[in-house]
Amino acid sequence: MRTTFTLRRFAATLALVGMVFSAHAQDPLSYARYDQVRTTDLHLDLKADFARKTLSGYAELTLNWIDKSARTLALDTRQLTISRVQVLKDGRWQPASYMLDKFDAKKGQALRIAIATQPEKVRIYYRTAPTASALQWMTPAQTLSGKRPFMFSQSQAINARSWAPVQDTPAVRFTYSARVNAPSGMRVVMSAENDQNGPGKNGWAFKMPQPIPSYLLAIAIGEIGVRNLGPRSAVYAEPQRLEAAAFELADTEKMISAAEALYGPYRWGRYDMIVLPPSFPIGGMENPRLTFLTPTMIAGDRSLNDLIAHELAHSWSGNLVTNASWKHWWLNEGFTTYVTTRIMESLYGIEVADMHLQVEQEEALASLKDIPAAKQALVPRDPDVNPDSYTDEGLAYPKGAWFLRTLEQRAGRESFDVFLRAWFDQHAFQSATTEQFVAFLRANLLNKHPDIMPEAELDEWLYGPGIPAMATRVVSARFAAVDAQRDAWLKGELQTADLSARSWIATEWMHFLNDIDKKANAAQLKELDDTFSLRNSKNNEIAFRFYLASVHAGYDVRQQLDAFLLSVGRQKFVVPLYAALLKNPKDAAWAKSVYAKARPRYHPETQGSVDKLIKK
Protein backbone atom coordinates (compact mmCIF):
# COMPACT_ATOMS: atom_id res chain seq x y z
CA MET A 1 0.00 0.00 0.00
CA ARG A 2 1.15 3.51 -0.62
CA THR A 3 0.28 5.81 2.26
CA THR A 4 1.52 6.76 5.76
CA PHE A 5 0.64 5.45 9.17
CA THR A 6 1.70 5.80 12.80
CA LEU A 7 4.10 3.08 13.98
CA ARG A 8 4.93 1.38 17.32
CA ARG A 9 7.30 -1.21 18.66
CA PHE A 10 6.62 -4.97 18.97
CA ALA A 11 9.53 -7.11 20.25
CA ALA A 12 10.63 -10.66 20.98
CA THR A 13 9.17 -13.79 19.46
CA LEU A 14 7.90 -17.21 20.47
CA ALA A 15 7.04 -20.18 18.25
CA LEU A 16 3.63 -21.74 18.80
CA VAL A 17 1.62 -23.98 16.49
CA GLY A 18 3.83 -23.05 13.57
CA MET A 19 3.43 -19.29 14.10
CA VAL A 20 5.80 -16.66 15.48
CA PHE A 21 4.59 -13.99 17.90
CA SER A 22 5.66 -11.77 20.73
CA ALA A 23 5.57 -13.07 24.26
CA HIS A 24 7.46 -10.19 25.89
CA ALA A 25 5.57 -7.13 24.65
CA GLN A 26 2.05 -6.38 23.58
CA ASP A 27 1.16 -4.24 20.59
CA PRO A 28 0.40 -0.87 22.24
CA LEU A 29 -2.27 -0.13 19.63
CA SER A 30 -4.28 -3.22 20.61
CA TYR A 31 -6.12 -4.21 23.78
CA ALA A 32 -5.81 -7.90 22.91
CA ARG A 33 -3.78 -10.17 25.21
CA TYR A 34 -2.64 -12.52 22.47
CA ASP A 35 -0.01 -13.94 24.79
CA GLN A 36 -2.98 -15.53 26.61
CA VAL A 37 -5.40 -16.36 23.80
CA ARG A 38 -5.27 -16.02 20.03
CA THR A 39 -7.91 -16.01 17.32
CA THR A 40 -7.29 -18.77 14.80
CA ASP A 41 -10.44 -18.38 12.69
CA LEU A 42 -13.14 -15.76 12.20
CA HIS A 43 -16.62 -16.17 10.73
CA LEU A 44 -18.75 -13.11 9.92
CA ASP A 45 -22.50 -13.23 9.33
CA LEU A 46 -23.57 -9.70 8.38
CA LYS A 47 -26.30 -7.67 6.72
CA ALA A 48 -25.58 -4.40 4.95
CA ASP A 49 -28.11 -1.62 5.56
CA PHE A 50 -27.42 1.30 3.23
CA ALA A 51 -30.24 3.40 4.65
CA ARG A 52 -28.71 3.27 8.13
CA LYS A 53 -25.12 2.93 6.87
CA THR A 54 -24.47 -0.08 9.09
CA LEU A 55 -23.35 -3.67 9.04
CA SER A 56 -25.08 -5.84 11.60
CA GLY A 57 -24.94 -9.50 12.62
CA TYR A 58 -22.37 -11.50 14.49
CA ALA A 59 -18.70 -12.42 14.53
CA GLU A 60 -17.73 -15.94 15.60
CA LEU A 61 -14.15 -16.37 16.78
CA THR A 62 -12.34 -19.69 17.14
CA LEU A 63 -9.81 -19.43 19.94
CA ASN A 64 -6.53 -21.01 20.94
CA TRP A 65 -5.99 -20.58 24.68
CA ILE A 66 -2.27 -20.30 25.42
CA ASP A 67 -2.38 -19.33 29.09
CA LYS A 68 -4.38 -22.08 30.81
CA SER A 69 -5.20 -19.76 33.71
CA ALA A 70 -6.68 -16.97 31.55
CA ARG A 71 -10.42 -16.34 31.93
CA THR A 72 -10.89 -13.10 29.98
CA LEU A 73 -10.96 -12.49 26.24
CA ALA A 74 -10.13 -8.89 25.28
CA LEU A 75 -11.02 -7.74 21.77
CA ASP A 76 -10.56 -4.43 19.96
CA THR A 77 -13.65 -2.43 18.99
CA ARG A 78 -14.41 1.10 17.89
CA GLN A 79 -17.97 2.49 17.91
CA LEU A 80 -19.49 -1.00 17.81
CA THR A 81 -22.87 -1.47 19.48
CA ILE A 82 -22.73 -4.85 21.23
CA SER A 83 -26.12 -6.51 21.82
CA ARG A 84 -25.05 -9.87 23.31
CA VAL A 85 -22.16 -12.30 23.61
CA GLN A 86 -22.32 -16.10 23.61
CA VAL A 87 -19.81 -18.89 24.19
CA LEU A 88 -19.99 -22.45 22.92
CA LYS A 89 -20.19 -24.83 25.86
CA ASP A 90 -21.06 -28.52 25.68
CA GLY A 91 -22.24 -28.06 22.10
CA ARG A 92 -24.67 -25.25 23.03
CA TRP A 93 -24.42 -21.46 22.73
CA GLN A 94 -24.75 -19.88 26.17
CA PRO A 95 -24.72 -16.20 27.24
CA ALA A 96 -21.49 -14.68 28.53
CA SER A 97 -20.80 -11.59 30.61
CA TYR A 98 -19.00 -8.70 28.92
CA MET A 99 -18.12 -5.04 29.35
CA LEU A 100 -16.75 -2.22 27.21
CA ASP A 101 -13.92 -0.08 28.52
CA LYS A 102 -13.96 3.71 28.39
CA PHE A 103 -13.63 4.99 24.82
CA ASP A 104 -10.18 6.07 23.66
CA ALA A 105 -10.01 8.33 20.59
CA LYS A 106 -7.05 6.45 19.12
CA LYS A 107 -7.66 2.84 20.12
CA GLY A 108 -11.42 2.67 20.56
CA GLN A 109 -12.72 0.39 23.32
CA ALA A 110 -11.69 -2.95 24.70
CA LEU A 111 -14.49 -5.50 24.71
CA ARG A 112 -13.78 -7.71 27.72
CA ILE A 113 -15.58 -11.05 27.87
CA ALA A 114 -15.49 -12.89 31.19
CA ILE A 115 -15.51 -16.66 30.74
CA ALA A 116 -15.60 -19.31 33.46
CA THR A 117 -13.92 -21.86 31.21
CA GLN A 118 -11.83 -21.61 28.05
CA PRO A 119 -14.33 -22.15 25.20
CA GLU A 120 -13.24 -22.95 21.69
CA LYS A 121 -15.65 -20.41 20.19
CA VAL A 122 -17.28 -17.11 21.08
CA ARG A 123 -19.96 -15.12 19.25
CA ILE A 124 -20.43 -11.37 19.45
CA TYR A 125 -23.64 -9.86 18.09
CA TYR A 126 -23.12 -6.24 17.09
CA ARG A 127 -23.86 -3.32 14.80
CA THR A 128 -21.38 -0.87 13.27
CA ALA A 129 -21.76 2.89 13.50
CA PRO A 130 -22.59 5.00 10.42
CA THR A 131 -19.30 6.76 11.16
CA ALA A 132 -17.18 3.58 11.28
CA SER A 133 -13.64 4.69 10.45
CA ALA A 134 -13.03 1.77 8.07
CA LEU A 135 -16.18 2.13 6.00
CA GLN A 136 -17.25 4.67 3.42
CA TRP A 137 -20.93 4.62 2.49
CA MET A 138 -21.49 6.38 -0.83
CA THR A 139 -24.75 7.67 -2.24
CA PRO A 140 -25.83 6.70 -5.78
CA ALA A 141 -24.88 10.20 -6.93
CA GLN A 142 -21.26 9.49 -5.93
CA THR A 143 -21.02 6.46 -8.24
CA LEU A 144 -20.53 6.25 -12.00
CA SER A 145 -24.00 5.00 -12.90
CA GLY A 146 -25.85 7.03 -10.30
CA LYS A 147 -28.22 4.09 -9.78
CA ARG A 148 -27.12 2.35 -6.59
CA PRO A 149 -25.04 3.20 -3.52
CA PHE A 150 -21.58 1.80 -2.86
CA MET A 151 -19.60 0.86 0.24
CA PHE A 152 -15.98 -0.15 0.72
CA SER A 153 -13.59 -0.69 3.60
CA GLN A 154 -10.06 0.38 4.44
CA SER A 155 -8.94 -1.55 7.53
CA GLN A 156 -5.26 -0.64 7.68
CA ALA A 157 -3.81 0.25 10.08
CA ILE A 158 -6.17 -0.28 13.05
CA ASN A 159 -9.60 0.30 11.54
CA ALA A 160 -10.76 -3.32 11.26
CA ARG A 161 -12.02 -2.94 14.83
CA SER A 162 -14.62 -0.44 13.61
CA TRP A 163 -16.46 -3.12 11.59
CA ALA A 164 -15.61 -6.36 13.43
CA PRO A 165 -14.65 -7.18 17.05
CA VAL A 166 -11.20 -8.73 16.55
CA GLN A 167 -7.69 -8.86 17.92
CA ASP A 168 -6.76 -5.92 15.74
CA THR A 169 -2.99 -6.30 15.54
CA PRO A 170 -0.71 -7.61 12.78
CA ALA A 171 0.79 -9.95 15.38
CA VAL A 172 -2.29 -12.19 15.13
CA ARG A 173 -3.19 -14.08 11.96
CA PHE A 174 -6.37 -16.06 11.34
CA THR A 175 -8.35 -17.70 8.54
CA TYR A 176 -11.85 -16.44 7.94
CA SER A 177 -15.20 -17.06 6.27
CA ALA A 178 -18.24 -14.86 5.83
CA ARG A 179 -21.82 -14.64 4.68
CA VAL A 180 -23.01 -11.13 3.78
CA ASN A 181 -26.51 -10.07 2.77
CA ALA A 182 -26.84 -7.01 0.55
CA PRO A 183 -29.68 -5.33 -1.36
CA SER A 184 -30.79 -6.94 -4.62
CA GLY A 185 -28.75 -5.98 -7.65
CA MET A 186 -25.58 -5.37 -5.66
CA ARG A 187 -22.50 -7.58 -5.56
CA VAL A 188 -20.46 -8.20 -2.42
CA VAL A 189 -16.74 -8.93 -2.72
CA MET A 190 -14.18 -9.60 0.01
CA SER A 191 -10.48 -10.31 0.47
CA ALA A 192 -11.19 -14.01 0.12
CA GLU A 193 -12.42 -16.56 -2.43
CA ASN A 194 -15.04 -14.73 -4.51
CA ASP A 195 -17.69 -16.52 -6.56
CA GLN A 196 -17.89 -14.64 -9.87
CA ASN A 197 -21.23 -16.25 -10.70
CA GLY A 198 -22.83 -16.18 -7.25
CA PRO A 199 -26.43 -14.91 -7.34
CA GLY A 200 -26.31 -13.57 -3.80
CA LYS A 201 -29.95 -14.45 -3.15
CA ASN A 202 -29.21 -16.11 0.20
CA GLY A 203 -26.22 -13.97 0.99
CA TRP A 204 -22.76 -13.86 -0.56
CA ALA A 205 -20.42 -16.54 0.81
CA PHE A 206 -16.66 -16.21 1.24
CA LYS A 207 -13.74 -18.26 2.52
CA MET A 208 -10.12 -17.24 3.15
CA PRO A 209 -8.12 -20.43 3.81
CA GLN A 210 -4.78 -18.69 4.38
CA PRO A 211 -4.24 -16.90 7.72
CA ILE A 212 -4.19 -13.10 7.50
CA PRO A 213 -3.82 -10.23 9.99
CA SER A 214 -6.93 -8.16 10.69
CA TYR A 215 -5.82 -5.16 8.64
CA LEU A 216 -6.27 -7.28 5.50
CA LEU A 217 -9.98 -7.86 6.18
CA ALA A 218 -11.75 -6.09 3.33
CA ILE A 219 -15.23 -5.74 1.85
CA ALA A 220 -16.90 -3.81 -0.96
CA ILE A 221 -20.57 -3.72 -1.96
CA GLY A 222 -22.09 -2.05 -4.98
CA GLU A 223 -22.93 -2.23 -8.64
CA ILE A 224 -19.85 -4.25 -9.60
CA GLY A 225 -18.96 -6.15 -12.76
CA VAL A 226 -16.11 -8.59 -13.33
CA ARG A 227 -13.77 -9.35 -16.23
CA ASN A 228 -11.21 -12.17 -16.27
CA LEU A 229 -7.67 -11.19 -17.21
CA GLY A 230 -6.13 -14.65 -17.20
CA PRO A 231 -6.35 -18.10 -15.61
CA ARG A 232 -5.88 -16.75 -12.07
CA SER A 233 -6.63 -13.04 -12.25
CA ALA A 234 -9.66 -10.84 -12.80
CA VAL A 235 -10.71 -7.24 -12.32
CA TYR A 236 -13.88 -6.04 -10.63
CA ALA A 237 -15.17 -2.50 -11.15
CA GLU A 238 -18.25 -0.42 -11.67
CA PRO A 239 -19.60 -1.59 -15.06
CA GLN A 240 -18.87 1.73 -16.79
CA ARG A 241 -15.21 1.51 -15.76
CA LEU A 242 -14.69 -2.20 -16.39
CA GLU A 243 -13.40 -2.06 -19.96
CA ALA A 244 -10.83 0.66 -19.23
CA ALA A 245 -9.72 -1.18 -16.09
CA ALA A 246 -9.28 -4.46 -17.94
CA PHE A 247 -7.15 -2.75 -20.59
CA GLU A 248 -4.97 -1.05 -17.98
CA LEU A 249 -4.40 -4.29 -16.05
CA ALA A 250 -3.70 -6.55 -19.02
CA ASP A 251 -0.11 -7.30 -17.88
CA THR A 252 -1.20 -8.73 -14.52
CA GLU A 253 -0.55 -12.39 -15.39
CA LYS A 254 2.92 -11.48 -16.67
CA MET A 255 3.63 -9.71 -13.39
CA ILE A 256 2.57 -12.71 -11.34
CA SER A 257 4.91 -14.96 -13.35
CA ALA A 258 7.77 -12.48 -13.06
CA ALA A 259 7.37 -12.26 -9.27
CA GLU A 260 7.19 -16.04 -8.94
CA ALA A 261 10.42 -16.43 -10.91
CA LEU A 262 12.13 -14.18 -8.40
CA TYR A 263 10.63 -15.13 -5.03
CA GLY A 264 8.79 -18.42 -5.31
CA PRO A 265 5.21 -19.52 -5.89
CA TYR A 266 2.23 -17.25 -5.47
CA ARG A 267 0.52 -18.79 -2.43
CA TRP A 268 -2.87 -17.08 -2.41
CA GLY A 269 -4.72 -18.93 -5.18
CA ARG A 270 -6.05 -16.05 -7.28
CA TYR A 271 -4.86 -12.48 -7.70
CA ASP A 272 -7.99 -10.46 -8.38
CA MET A 273 -8.36 -6.68 -8.15
CA ILE A 274 -11.17 -4.19 -7.74
CA VAL A 275 -11.02 -0.64 -9.04
CA LEU A 276 -12.96 1.41 -6.52
CA PRO A 277 -14.73 4.77 -6.84
CA PRO A 278 -12.49 7.86 -6.90
CA SER A 279 -12.88 8.53 -3.17
CA PHE A 280 -10.63 5.58 -2.32
CA PRO A 281 -7.98 7.49 -0.32
CA ILE A 282 -4.79 5.67 -1.34
CA GLY A 283 -3.20 4.22 -4.46
CA GLY A 284 -3.82 0.60 -3.61
CA MET A 285 -4.45 -1.75 -0.71
CA GLU A 286 -2.95 -5.21 -0.92
CA ASN A 287 -5.94 -7.13 0.45
CA PRO A 288 -5.11 -10.76 -0.45
CA ARG A 289 -7.07 -12.30 -3.30
CA LEU A 290 -8.63 -8.89 -3.99
CA THR A 291 -6.33 -5.89 -4.20
CA PHE A 292 -8.18 -2.57 -3.88
CA LEU A 293 -7.11 0.04 -6.47
CA THR A 294 -7.65 3.72 -7.12
CA PRO A 295 -9.11 4.66 -10.50
CA THR A 296 -6.41 7.34 -10.74
CA MET A 297 -4.04 4.65 -12.02
CA ILE A 298 -6.12 4.33 -15.21
CA ALA A 299 -4.22 6.47 -17.72
CA GLY A 300 -5.28 4.70 -20.90
CA ASP A 301 -1.74 3.67 -21.80
CA ARG A 302 -0.69 1.34 -18.93
CA SER A 303 1.94 3.89 -17.91
CA LEU A 304 1.10 3.69 -14.20
CA ASN A 305 1.08 -0.07 -13.78
CA ASP A 306 4.00 0.06 -11.38
CA LEU A 307 1.19 0.44 -8.84
CA ILE A 308 -0.03 -3.04 -9.79
CA ALA A 309 3.50 -4.39 -9.45
CA HIS A 310 3.68 -2.83 -5.98
CA GLU A 311 0.40 -4.28 -4.72
CA LEU A 312 1.25 -7.69 -6.21
CA ALA A 313 4.65 -7.58 -4.50
CA HIS A 314 2.81 -7.41 -1.17
CA SER A 315 1.76 -11.01 -1.81
CA TRP A 316 5.26 -11.87 -0.60
CA SER A 317 6.26 -8.88 1.57
CA GLY A 318 3.51 -7.79 3.92
CA ASN A 319 0.84 -10.38 3.27
CA LEU A 320 3.03 -13.51 3.39
CA VAL A 321 5.54 -12.09 5.89
CA THR A 322 3.88 -9.39 7.98
CA ASN A 323 5.31 -6.71 10.26
CA ALA A 324 4.54 -7.82 13.82
CA SER A 325 3.47 -4.29 14.76
CA TRP A 326 3.34 -0.93 13.03
CA LYS A 327 6.72 -0.01 14.47
CA HIS A 328 8.19 -2.52 12.02
CA TRP A 329 6.23 -1.24 9.04
CA TRP A 330 9.34 -0.97 6.88
CA LEU A 331 9.45 -4.79 6.73
CA ASN A 332 6.22 -4.45 4.79
CA GLU A 333 6.57 -1.35 2.61
CA GLY A 334 10.36 -1.15 2.27
CA PHE A 335 10.57 -4.75 1.10
CA THR A 336 7.59 -4.29 -1.21
CA THR A 337 9.09 -1.20 -2.84
CA TYR A 338 12.30 -3.12 -3.51
CA VAL A 339 10.41 -6.09 -4.99
CA THR A 340 8.33 -3.72 -7.14
CA THR A 341 11.42 -2.43 -8.92
CA ARG A 342 12.63 -5.97 -9.52
CA ILE A 343 9.28 -6.91 -11.11
CA MET A 344 9.34 -3.79 -13.29
CA GLU A 345 12.89 -4.54 -14.42
CA SER A 346 12.00 -8.13 -15.23
CA LEU A 347 9.06 -7.08 -17.42
CA TYR A 348 10.09 -3.74 -18.91
CA GLY A 349 13.87 -3.67 -18.75
CA ILE A 350 16.50 -1.98 -16.64
CA GLU A 351 16.12 1.38 -18.40
CA VAL A 352 12.50 1.76 -17.30
CA ALA A 353 13.24 0.34 -13.83
CA ASP A 354 16.09 2.81 -13.32
CA MET A 355 13.86 5.76 -14.19
CA HIS A 356 11.26 4.66 -11.65
CA LEU A 357 14.01 4.11 -9.09
CA GLN A 358 15.62 7.51 -9.64
CA VAL A 359 12.28 9.28 -9.17
CA GLU A 360 11.74 7.24 -6.01
CA GLN A 361 15.15 8.14 -4.60
CA GLU A 362 14.92 11.81 -5.54
CA GLU A 363 11.51 12.18 -3.91
CA ALA A 364 12.85 10.44 -0.79
CA LEU A 365 15.75 12.86 -0.50
CA ALA A 366 13.48 15.84 -1.15
CA SER A 367 11.10 14.70 1.61
CA LEU A 368 13.78 14.77 4.31
CA LYS A 369 13.51 18.53 4.77
CA ASP A 370 9.90 18.11 5.93
CA ILE A 371 10.49 15.18 8.31
CA PRO A 372 12.05 15.71 11.76
CA ALA A 373 15.37 13.86 12.03
CA ALA A 374 14.04 11.83 14.95
CA LYS A 375 11.36 10.38 12.66
CA GLN A 376 13.65 9.45 9.75
CA ALA A 377 14.80 6.08 11.09
CA LEU A 378 13.43 2.91 9.53
CA VAL A 379 12.52 1.75 13.01
CA PRO A 380 12.49 3.77 16.28
CA ARG A 381 15.15 2.68 18.72
CA ASP A 382 13.20 3.72 21.81
CA PRO A 383 11.11 0.73 22.99
CA ASP A 384 8.68 3.06 24.76
CA VAL A 385 8.13 5.48 21.90
CA ASN A 386 4.62 6.92 21.77
CA PRO A 387 2.96 5.59 18.59
CA ASP A 388 1.27 8.95 18.05
CA SER A 389 4.62 10.74 18.02
CA TYR A 390 6.37 8.52 15.49
CA THR A 391 5.03 9.17 12.00
CA ASP A 392 6.83 7.54 9.13
CA GLU A 393 5.86 10.17 6.55
CA GLY A 394 6.29 7.56 3.82
CA LEU A 395 10.07 7.32 4.12
CA ALA A 396 9.90 3.61 4.98
CA TYR A 397 9.07 2.87 1.35
CA PRO A 398 12.14 4.27 -0.45
CA LYS A 399 14.61 4.08 2.45
CA GLY A 400 13.79 0.43 3.17
CA ALA A 401 14.11 -0.40 -0.54
CA TRP A 402 17.38 1.55 -0.77
CA PHE A 403 18.78 -0.44 2.15
CA LEU A 404 17.88 -3.75 0.50
CA ARG A 405 19.24 -2.58 -2.84
CA THR A 406 22.52 -1.71 -1.12
CA LEU A 407 22.73 -5.23 0.27
CA GLU A 408 21.97 -6.63 -3.18
CA GLN A 409 24.65 -4.52 -4.87
CA ARG A 410 27.32 -5.62 -2.41
CA ALA A 411 26.35 -9.28 -2.04
CA GLY A 412 25.63 -9.75 -5.73
CA ARG A 413 22.14 -10.19 -7.13
CA GLU A 414 22.29 -13.99 -7.30
CA SER A 415 23.28 -14.39 -3.65
CA PHE A 416 20.84 -11.74 -2.45
CA ASP A 417 17.94 -13.29 -4.36
CA VAL A 418 18.59 -16.63 -2.68
CA PHE A 419 18.71 -14.85 0.70
CA LEU A 420 15.50 -12.89 0.17
CA ARG A 421 13.54 -15.86 -1.12
CA ALA A 422 14.67 -17.84 1.95
CA TRP A 423 13.36 -15.03 4.17
CA PHE A 424 9.94 -15.28 2.53
CA ASP A 425 9.91 -19.08 2.55
CA GLN A 426 11.00 -19.52 6.15
CA HIS A 427 8.64 -16.85 7.53
CA ALA A 428 5.63 -17.53 5.34
CA PHE A 429 2.29 -16.73 7.02
CA GLN A 430 4.10 -15.35 10.06
CA SER A 431 4.52 -11.93 11.66
CA ALA A 432 8.09 -10.73 12.10
CA THR A 433 10.10 -7.98 13.79
CA THR A 434 13.13 -6.00 12.72
CA GLU A 435 15.17 -7.93 15.28
CA GLN A 436 14.19 -11.19 13.62
CA PHE A 437 15.19 -9.88 10.22
CA VAL A 438 18.55 -8.65 11.49
CA ALA A 439 19.23 -12.04 13.09
CA PHE A 440 18.32 -13.75 9.82
CA LEU A 441 20.47 -11.30 7.86
CA ARG A 442 23.49 -11.94 10.05
CA ALA A 443 23.08 -15.72 10.05
CA ASN A 444 22.47 -16.09 6.32
CA LEU A 445 24.44 -13.29 4.70
CA LEU A 446 26.61 -11.06 6.87
CA ASN A 447 28.32 -13.79 8.91
CA LYS A 448 29.41 -15.43 5.67
CA HIS A 449 30.38 -12.15 4.02
CA PRO A 450 31.09 -9.56 6.75
CA ASP A 451 32.46 -7.09 4.22
CA ILE A 452 28.98 -6.60 2.73
CA MET A 453 27.91 -4.23 5.49
CA PRO A 454 29.69 -3.29 8.74
CA GLU A 455 27.63 -3.24 11.92
CA ALA A 456 27.92 0.54 12.19
CA GLU A 457 26.43 1.03 8.74
CA LEU A 458 23.67 -1.50 9.42
CA ASP A 459 22.82 0.45 12.54
CA GLU A 460 22.77 3.70 10.57
CA TRP A 461 20.38 2.33 7.96
CA LEU A 462 17.95 1.00 10.56
CA TYR A 463 18.13 3.54 13.34
CA GLY A 464 19.79 6.65 11.89
CA PRO A 465 18.20 9.69 10.25
CA GLY A 466 18.12 10.33 6.53
CA ILE A 467 19.81 8.25 3.86
CA PRO A 468 23.36 7.12 4.72
CA ALA A 469 26.03 8.99 2.78
CA MET A 470 27.46 5.77 1.36
CA ALA A 471 24.19 4.92 -0.41
CA THR A 472 24.59 4.68 -4.18
CA ARG A 473 22.16 6.77 -6.20
CA VAL A 474 20.71 5.50 -9.46
CA VAL A 475 21.44 7.67 -12.48
CA SER A 476 19.26 7.07 -15.54
CA ALA A 477 20.79 7.89 -18.91
CA ARG A 478 17.36 8.90 -20.24
CA PHE A 479 16.83 11.21 -17.30
CA ALA A 480 20.23 12.80 -17.95
CA ALA A 481 18.96 13.85 -21.38
CA VAL A 482 15.75 15.21 -19.80
CA ASP A 483 17.82 17.11 -17.22
CA ALA A 484 19.93 18.77 -19.90
CA GLN A 485 16.80 20.01 -21.67
CA ARG A 486 15.21 21.07 -18.38
CA ASP A 487 18.19 23.24 -17.42
CA ALA A 488 18.32 24.88 -20.84
CA TRP A 489 14.55 25.45 -20.82
CA LEU A 490 14.56 27.03 -17.35
CA LYS A 491 17.33 29.39 -18.46
CA GLY A 492 15.44 30.33 -21.62
CA GLU A 493 18.09 28.77 -23.84
CA LEU A 494 15.69 26.11 -25.21
CA GLN A 495 12.27 26.93 -26.59
CA THR A 496 9.30 24.99 -25.24
CA ALA A 497 8.44 23.73 -28.72
CA ASP A 498 11.95 22.27 -28.99
CA LEU A 499 11.60 20.03 -25.94
CA SER A 500 11.58 16.38 -26.99
CA ALA A 501 8.72 15.82 -24.53
CA ARG A 502 6.33 14.34 -27.09
CA SER A 503 8.42 11.17 -26.94
CA TRP A 504 8.68 11.10 -23.14
CA ILE A 505 7.00 8.34 -21.17
CA ALA A 506 5.05 9.20 -18.01
CA THR A 507 8.05 8.68 -15.75
CA GLU A 508 10.09 11.22 -17.69
CA TRP A 509 7.30 13.75 -17.40
CA MET A 510 7.04 13.11 -13.66
CA HIS A 511 10.79 13.63 -13.27
CA PHE A 512 10.70 16.85 -15.31
CA LEU A 513 7.71 18.32 -13.46
CA ASN A 514 9.19 17.42 -10.07
CA ASP A 515 12.35 19.31 -10.97
CA ILE A 516 10.70 22.48 -12.33
CA ASP A 517 8.34 22.81 -9.37
CA LYS A 518 9.06 26.13 -7.59
CA LYS A 519 11.61 26.98 -10.30
CA ALA A 520 9.49 27.65 -13.38
CA ASN A 521 7.49 30.88 -13.47
CA ALA A 522 3.87 31.35 -14.51
CA ALA A 523 4.78 32.37 -18.07
CA GLN A 524 6.90 29.26 -18.55
CA LEU A 525 4.16 27.00 -17.22
CA LYS A 526 1.59 28.64 -19.48
CA GLU A 527 3.78 28.04 -22.50
CA LEU A 528 4.38 24.44 -21.42
CA ASP A 529 0.63 24.00 -20.99
CA ASP A 530 -0.20 25.62 -24.35
CA THR A 531 2.27 23.33 -26.09
CA PHE A 532 1.51 20.01 -24.38
CA SER A 533 -1.99 20.59 -22.89
CA LEU A 534 -0.85 19.42 -19.47
CA ARG A 535 -3.87 20.80 -17.65
CA ASN A 536 -5.97 18.29 -19.59
CA SER A 537 -3.66 15.29 -19.08
CA LYS A 538 -5.47 11.98 -18.56
CA ASN A 539 -2.51 10.75 -16.53
CA ASN A 540 -3.24 11.77 -12.94
CA GLU A 541 0.40 11.56 -11.85
CA ILE A 542 1.33 14.08 -14.54
CA ALA A 543 -1.73 16.29 -13.98
CA PHE A 544 -1.12 16.42 -10.22
CA ARG A 545 2.50 17.49 -10.60
CA PHE A 546 1.58 20.12 -13.18
CA TYR A 547 -1.20 21.54 -10.99
CA LEU A 548 1.13 21.68 -7.98
CA ALA A 549 3.85 23.51 -9.92
CA SER A 550 1.19 25.86 -11.32
CA VAL A 551 -0.14 26.74 -7.86
CA HIS A 552 3.39 27.43 -6.63
CA ALA A 553 4.12 29.61 -9.67
CA GLY A 554 0.82 31.48 -9.67
CA TYR A 555 -0.34 30.10 -13.02
CA ASP A 556 -4.14 29.95 -13.09
CA VAL A 557 -5.48 26.40 -13.57
CA ARG A 558 -8.48 26.81 -11.28
CA GLN A 559 -11.07 25.48 -13.72
CA GLN A 560 -9.25 22.16 -14.22
CA LEU A 561 -8.05 22.02 -10.62
CA ASP A 562 -11.62 22.44 -9.38
CA ALA A 563 -12.70 19.45 -11.48
CA PHE A 564 -9.67 17.44 -10.33
CA LEU A 565 -10.30 18.04 -6.62
CA LEU A 566 -13.98 17.19 -7.02
CA SER A 567 -13.32 13.95 -8.89
CA VAL A 568 -10.17 12.58 -7.23
CA GLY A 569 -10.01 11.53 -3.58
CA ARG A 570 -6.52 10.03 -3.40
CA GLN A 571 -4.67 11.64 -0.48
CA LYS A 572 -1.35 11.61 -2.33
CA PHE A 573 -2.83 14.17 -4.74
CA VAL A 574 -5.48 15.95 -2.71
CA VAL A 575 -3.56 16.82 0.46
CA PRO A 576 -0.47 18.46 -1.16
CA LEU A 577 -2.69 20.50 -3.49
CA TYR A 578 -4.83 21.86 -0.64
CA ALA A 579 -1.68 22.52 1.39
CA ALA A 580 -0.17 24.56 -1.44
CA LEU A 581 -3.40 26.48 -2.06
CA LEU A 582 -3.93 27.30 1.61
CA LYS A 583 -0.42 28.75 1.96
CA ASN A 584 -1.21 31.36 -0.70
CA PRO A 585 -3.58 34.09 0.55
CA LYS A 586 -4.86 34.58 -3.01
CA ASP A 587 -5.89 30.93 -3.25
CA ALA A 588 -6.90 30.07 0.33
CA ALA A 589 -10.51 31.27 0.19
CA TRP A 590 -11.05 29.57 -3.16
CA ALA A 591 -9.52 26.32 -1.84
CA LYS A 592 -11.90 26.34 1.13
CA SER A 593 -14.89 26.85 -1.16
CA VAL A 594 -13.80 23.90 -3.32
CA TYR A 595 -13.29 21.74 -0.25
CA ALA A 596 -16.76 22.59 1.01
CA LYS A 597 -18.13 21.02 -2.18
CA ALA A 598 -15.64 18.15 -2.32
CA ARG A 599 -15.57 17.07 1.31
CA PRO A 600 -18.72 14.86 1.19
CA ARG A 601 -17.12 12.96 -1.69
CA TYR A 602 -13.90 12.18 0.18
CA HIS A 603 -13.13 9.17 2.36
CA PRO A 604 -13.06 9.88 6.13
CA GLU A 605 -9.26 9.47 6.14
CA THR A 606 -8.94 12.17 3.46
CA GLN A 607 -11.43 14.42 5.22
CA GLY A 608 -9.40 14.17 8.42
CA SER A 609 -6.16 15.07 6.64
CA VAL A 610 -7.59 18.15 4.90
CA ASP A 611 -9.54 19.22 7.99
CA LYS A 612 -6.22 19.48 9.83
CA LEU A 613 -4.84 21.71 7.09
CA ILE A 614 -7.91 23.95 7.24
CA LYS A 615 -7.64 24.28 11.03
CA LYS A 616 -4.01 25.38 10.73
Q: Cα separation of 230 and 250, whole Å? A: 9
- What are phi and psi for residue 337, nearest 5 degrees? -65, -40
Q: Cα separation of 299 and 540, whole Å? A: 7
What are the angstrom distances between the C-alpha of 229 and each of 235, 344, 347, 474, 478?
A: 7, 19, 17, 34, 32
CB contact burial 63-86 (16+ within 10 A = b; e otherwise): bbbbeeeeeebbbbbbbbebeebb
* C-alpha R_g of the chain: 24
CB contact burial 574-596 (16+ within 10 A = b; e otherwise): bbbbbbbbbeeeebeeebeebbe
Instruction: Confirm if 606 and 279 have CB atoms less than 8 A apart.
Output: yes
Catalytic position from the list 238, 248, 286, 311: 311
Q: In what order do the strands lie in the sheet with 97-100?
A: 72-77, 109-114, 97-100
Interacting residues of 428 by C-beta distance below 8 A, sequence separation 6+: 267, 320, 321
State the burial class of residue 483 (Cβ atoms within 10 Å of its Cβ: 0-12, 13-18, 19+).
middle
Instruction: Confirm if 101 and 31 have CB atoms less than 8 A apart.
Output: yes
Q: Cα separation of 530 and 523, whole Å? A: 10
Instruction: Confirm if 208 and 246 have CB atoms less than 8 A apart.
Output: no
Catalytic position from the list 397, 547, 578, 595: 397
**Is 357 in a helix, a strand, or coil?**
helix
Q: Is 311 a catalytic residue?
A: yes
Instruction: Confirm if 237 and 275 have CB atoms less than 8 A apart.
Output: yes
Q: Cα separation of 550 and 524, whole Å? A: 10
Interacting residues of 49 by C-beta distance below 8 A, sequence separation 6+: 55, 56
What are the angstrom distances between the C-alpha of 564 and each of 74, 550, 561, 578, 604?
A: 44, 14, 5, 12, 18
Q: In which element (H, E) is residue 15 found?
A: strand 14-16
Q: Cα separation of 428 and 325, whole Å? A: 16
Catalytic residues: 311, 397
